Structure 1
Amino acid sequence: MTTTPRTPLLRDLDRRRLLKAVGFGAVGVAGANVLAACAGGDNAADADAGRFTGVYDFDIDAQTRNVAVEDGALLMNSVYADLFLPSGAFYNWETHEWDYLLVENAAWEGDDLIVSLRPGLKWSDGTGLDADDLLQNFAIRVLEAPSWSIGFPQITELEKVDGLGVRARFDNPFPGIELQVVKHRIFSKSTYGDFGERAVAMVADGIRQGDEGHTEFNSEFIAFNPDEIVCSGPYRFDPAQIADARITLVRNEEGYQGTEVGFDEVVIHKGDNRQASLLIQQGEIDYSTLATSAADQQAFEGVEGLRSVEHPGYDGCGLMFNYQRKPELKDVRVRKALAHLLDGDQIGRVARGEAYSGVEYYAGLVDLQAEQVFTAQELAEFETYDLDHDRAAELLEEAGWTKQDGTWRLPDGTEAGFEVIGVVGWGDFELTATQVEEAWNDFGIRTTASNVPADNPWGIWSAGDFEVAVRHWGNPEIPSYWGAFQMNFLVENARTGETPGQAFDLVVDSPSQGEVDLEALVEVAKTAPTEEEQTEALKTMAIVFNELLPRIPIWTYKYLAPALEGVRVAGFDDDHPAAQNQIYMDNHVMLSLIQGDLRPVE
């Protein structure tokens, strides 16, 4: 196996020095300088009237206008896409209900899902938004959606039922199968009509992804790059105000909610994470979802009117093990001991500043979801893995490890040791790896932290080119609970010769559940015909995760999005009904803006 080159991490940073290194206790000179430059006066305030501002690292030349292929399309991977090309609906991650946008209703009739658009919708080019758009969109997605995804690949037939509605027939539908269909971001038939008509005919003929005839369609579709983005939302692109440094979206009165939104313009400044932080300190940005460092968070405290809108995280950062490279990790007592050596709160604070939460339940689900699935009494039975050196030593000794001259040795007498990898440029991963190195070394387990290149860590993880990797747990993209266990158990765990990944055996012996096939349970949690069966499978997997700890959750993401009040925006709602939504998938601030609840300063 070829080993990917590692970049060594600094070895001499203790926790106190790490806290200083990430900026606690000092605000940079650059921040002070840009703050001094933000006295705009009355004229600046007048120019900003009726304008909402954001920031995103776009590239008007390199990125396409093919919004049907979101990756690589202008602004389509930003939260601001909802403003010019809204989804059919927003999903409420807490109540599991819909806030319908372009879609008026979605209802089941047996195995058929009937999706109906709102009447009177128009595209920014003046054409009507109707069932033909919906039918063509659905047909294209049936062909183009990844075969492993849930929703479009399971559609067997499509039919237009009237001028605004489409019937999608499923083979053996199950609760939640409709999520991506209802949420689908609709693109215009005036732009994609030829592709749409061909896709409708192909789907009717039974052609699916990978079949003969699809390859040519796919290559043409991916390469397609129209001249403009035709919009359906309350805003549209102003061609005269698209530049390298900023893009201005103007009110689209014919679009959905075009007369109801509070702002006449939305300006998106270009900026990466660091540039965005400087723009925020200058008071130029009303709301940003880009990552900020601990030092940035502290510098923001000096900006009048700036606060944080908190968005919960549905994944976290932890440790993924390679059981093939380090077979001693197959002993659950060793994994639990290693967890007891980590101070999750300390590691999270160094890695993320205030933008993290601790881990309480170790259920494989984030605590917020665990509390939705289990009762408080059930969660009280879960084992916790807080910092406890005595318990760690007890577990290692039970596993046959011994400590000689301050160093732990395996049962065969060899010195124990691990390499922990982070990712170059992923600051929270780098800092997490460094602290794991320090904690395990301090306890007498020789540990080296290093970083792998950022261009393809997923390939490194899948190839099993690691011993211990800083890696995500949980799932921020799939609101259905099974997504967390797909991530924890199946992603980077192919167990093949070329892609062994974790090499974690998915048929396990649980102290309370007996022999369990985790791969089969993920499928049950995903596709069982009743919510009761899905929930039973979820509970079993969470209990098994807690008992066996196949990977170690260390901290949970918490997103603190900088938000400026009193300059252009009157205020941000602290008690929005969708405040528990995932920040990048169903952003409740964007929903509030679309619904007209986010208002300008008067």
Structure 2
Amino acid sequence: MTSYPPRNAILQDLSRRRLLKAVGLGAAGAAGAGALSACSAGGGSTSGATQFTGVFDFDLDSMTRNVHREDGALLLNSVYKDLFLCPGGVFNWSTHEWDYLLLEGHEWDGDDLIVSLRSGLKWSDGSDLNADDMIRSYAMRVLEAPPWGFGFPQVQDLEKLDDQSVRVGFENPFPNIERSIIKHRVVSKVTYENFGERALEMVNDGVRQGDDEHAEWNSEFIEFDPDEIVCSGPYMFDEAQMSDARITLVRNENGYQGTEVEFDEVVIHKGDNRQSALLVQQGEVDYSSLAPSAADQQAFQSVEGFRWIEHAGYDGVGLMFNHKAKPEVQDVRVRKALAYILDGEQIGQVARGEAYSRVEYYAGLADIQAEEIFTSEELADFENFDQDHDKATELLEEAGWTKEDGRWYLPDGEEASFEVIGVAGWGDFELTATQVEEAWNDFGIKTEARNVPEDNPWGIWGAGDFEVAVRHWGNPEQPDYWGAFQMNFLTENAGTEDSPGQGFDLQVESPSQGEVDLAELVDTAQRAESDEEQMEALKALSIVFNELLPRIPIWTYKYLSPAIEGKRVEEFPVDTPTSQNEQYQDNHIILALIQGELKPVRD
């Protein structure tokens, strides 16, 4: 069994966590406002062009224009990427259907995926966007794809069928394996001419990541930094209006929806979490996906036209146990007792302000997903772990723990103790760790919280260098329900000497399901050939998670994005068919902008 840390998940997670540093609005806020004077001065359009404004912490000097790399590419970790480099489609997380953008559609022919482009597409340089761009982009991604990913790593061969269509050959595909292909951002065959053709030949010859041929190709590719980004979307970069303070995207009439979008320009101010909040308060930003602190959330209420855009959360934060380092947590009664000690409502409020939801079902899935696969009657049978100190005491005593002079002791007489690690700079993780420390100490269990460096917590988690770790549960990268259980059970649980991770035994005894091989059950949920078989596996995984509680969900992300109506944007859509989309992957506000549904204020 191996650990599966998806690269895009890591990159987006890195970006997200850096934006979650808790900030206030005292003297430091006033100082920050001064630093923003260069950003806000002259921010309006001087030509009468309609503008949509956003904010992201970009760096023109360090970020590459090699947008096929994604890691470190200009604006590729922002929600604005879809505006200039459209994916094939945007996934609807509620209906599990596609809103196609560059693609006309896709279909399966046995183990072959046939992907077809819209006709008449062009790049911002006026050249045709066709199957040559698509197949070469796919080939480059196959070479770049790590073997533990899903989609491109399983591609066997590629074939151009005609000017608009490509055949993507798989071996033993499973449902929705095509998602990463459909969402892929095709790049210009002219820009990547020296890489695309070579990549296609290597892929069809069986070369993959790690092979000698790939290493030689990759050494050149990672150094490649073209002078400009050729765009496929409704907007393109205006080099004359790019500075350290802002980037201006102008209408790309050659691009997809370039003549249908309602705004002439999109201005993206430079700003980190603190600066983003101040820009919103100054009315300079219409929409921001950068996470505001609790203090910022309060300050926004006085801004004219302010409203929240809520994006659903499909993951949350809780506690991951190291079952090898602390054998006492191998007793499910202990894990449940530790959960009952905590007040998830309070921890979420302190860690995230308004931007959290409490956990209702403890099913391993976000509640929004649990409600989609279980009936209300079925969910009523799930054990709820809201704070209950009497229940916690009862469970610990059943497990053989004893309490003397206000301290809890293990069955062997040793005093119970835990170290809980957060991550330095990840504000919500830090605050969650300190609150767990306080709650368990107050209950009589000696606990100490500390923070590990933010540069590589994944390595620490995977290596099992912890006793209890503040860690994610659920899965914001994978809309399919099985993704949450891959995260909960398999990620950081390789079980090898070098990567023991959680050290949780995947061969379990469930009170209701009997003997269960969790790795096999996750595989069944992923690859089941019928909906009935898949649903049966998913329900079993949820029930086992609730019964055994291998990790403790504490709170769920609720992404609140500040927005301003009536200044540049007439109004933002509410309760649209895509409003349950994940914010960073399939942002429904950006989709509305692309589709021409977002309207400017007209004089």
TM-score normalised by L of structure 2: 0.93
**CA separation in 1, counterparts of 2:66 and 2:433?**
39
Report the CA distance between 1:546 and its aligned residue. 0.4
**CA separation in 1, counterparts of 2:223 and 2:28?**
42
1:424 equivalent in structure 2: 424
The AA in structure 1 aligned to 2:387 is L
2:523 equivalent in structure 1: 523
Moved more, 96-105 or 240-249: 240-249
Any idea what the Cα deviations from partners look like across 1:81-114, whole Å, max 9, x if unmatched? Answer: 0000011000000100000000011111222211
Q: Structure 1 pair 42/130, CA: closer, same or farther in 2 (3 Å)?
A: closer
Any idea what the Cα deviations from partners look like across 1:505-539, whole Å, max 9, x if unmatched? Answer: 11111111111111122222222233332222221
CA contact (8 A) 1:106 1:114 kept: yes
1:436 equivalent in structure 2: 436
1:338 equivalent in structure 2: 338
Q: Structure 1 pair 545/451, CA: closer, same or farther in 2 (3 Å)?
A: same
1:63 equivalent in structure 2: 63
1:76 equivalent in structure 2: 76
Moved more, 562-571 or 447-456: 447-456
Report the CA distance between 1:45 and its aligned residue. 8.2
2:349 equivalent in structure 1: 349
2:599 equivalent in structure 1: 599
**CA separation in 1, counterparts of 2:442 and 2:236?**
57
CA contact (8 A) 2:115 2:167 kept: yes
Question: Percent identity of the aligned residues?
Answer: 69
- The question of 1:227 aligning with 2:227 is answered yes
1:452 equivalent in structure 2: 452
**CA separation in 1, counterparts of 2:37 and 2:459?**
44
1:7 equivalent in structure 2: none
1:213 equivalent in structure 2: 213
**CA separation in 2, counterparts of 1:340 and 1:220?**
54
Report the CA distance between 1:30 and its aligned residue. 6.6
The AA in structure 1 aligned to 2:69 is V
Q: Structure 1 pair 75/41, CA: closer, same or farther in 2 (3 Å)?
A: closer
Secondary structure of the structure 1 residue equivalent to 2:192: helix
CA contact (8 A) 1:234 1:252 kept: yes
**CA separation in 2, counterparts of 1:239 and 1:593?**
22
**CA separation in 2, counterparts of 1:502 and 1:595?**
44
Q: Cα RMSD between the aligned structures?
A: 2.1
2:402 equivalent in structure 1: 402
Q: Structure 1 pair 530/144, CA: closer, same or farther in 2 (3 Å)?
A: farther
1:102 equivalent in structure 2: 102
1:562 equivalent in structure 2: 562
**CA separation in 1, counterparts of 2:207 and 2:504?**
36
CA contact (8 A) 2:45 2:51 kept: no
The AA in structure 1 aligned to 2:276 is A
**CA separation in 1, counterparts of 2:136 and 2:332?**
51
**CA separation in 2, counterparts of 1:440 and 1:399?**
17
Any idea what the Cα deviations from partners look like across 1:550-594, whole Å, max 9, x if unmatched? Answer: 000000000000111011100100122100000000000000000
CA contact (8 A) 1:154 1:171 kept: yes
The AA in structure 2 aligned to 1:539 is K
The AA in structure 2 aligned to 1:143 is L
The AA in structure 2 aligned to 1:317 is V
The AA in structure 2 aligned to 1:116 is S
Q: Where does the alignment leave 5 or more consecutive residues of structure 1 unmatched?
A: 1-20
1:182 equivalent in structure 2: 182
Any idea what the Cα deviations from partners look like across 1:168-219, whole Å, max 9, x if unmatched? Answer: 1221222111111111111110111221111221222222233342221122
Q: Structure 1 pair 66/164, CA: closer, same or farther in 2 (3 Å)?
A: same
- The question of 1:51 aligning with 2:60 is answered no
**CA separation in 1, counterparts of 2:140 and 2:531?**
30
Secondary structure of the structure 2 residue equivalent to 1:520: helix
**CA separation in 2, counterparts of 1:42 and 1:187?**
33
**Aligned pairs (5 A) from 1:299-378:** 299-378=299-378
**CA separation in 1, counterparts of 2:41 and 2:140?**
51
Any idea what the Cα deviations from partners look like across 1:26-49, whole Å, max 9, x if unmatched? Answer: 9646768959999x9999687775
**CA separation in 1, counterparts of 2:506 and 2:379?**
24
**CA separation in 2, counterparts of 1:488 and 1:246?**
40
The AA in structure 1 aligned to 2:413 is G
Q: Where does the alignment leave 5 or more consecutive residues of structure 2 unmatched?
A: 1-20
2:476 equivalent in structure 1: 476
Report the CA distance between 1:255 and its aligned residue. 0.4
**CA separation in 1, counterparts of 2:162 and 2:156?**
19
Report the CA distance between 1:140 and its aligned residue. 1.6
**Aligned pairs (5 A) from 1:148-159:** 148-159=148-159
CA contact (8 A) 1:49 1:601 kept: no
Secondary structure of the structure 1 residue equivalent to 2:383: coil
Moved more, 579-588 or 529-538: 529-538
Any idea what the Cα deviations from partners look like across 1:462-494, whole Å, max 9, x if unmatched? Answer: 121111111110111111111111111111112
The AA in structure 1 aligned to 2:353 is G
CA contact (8 A) 2:29 2:274 kept: no
TM-score normalised by L of structure 1: 0.93
Report the CA distance between 1:404 and its aligned residue. 0.6
How many residues end up aligned between the 2 structures?
579
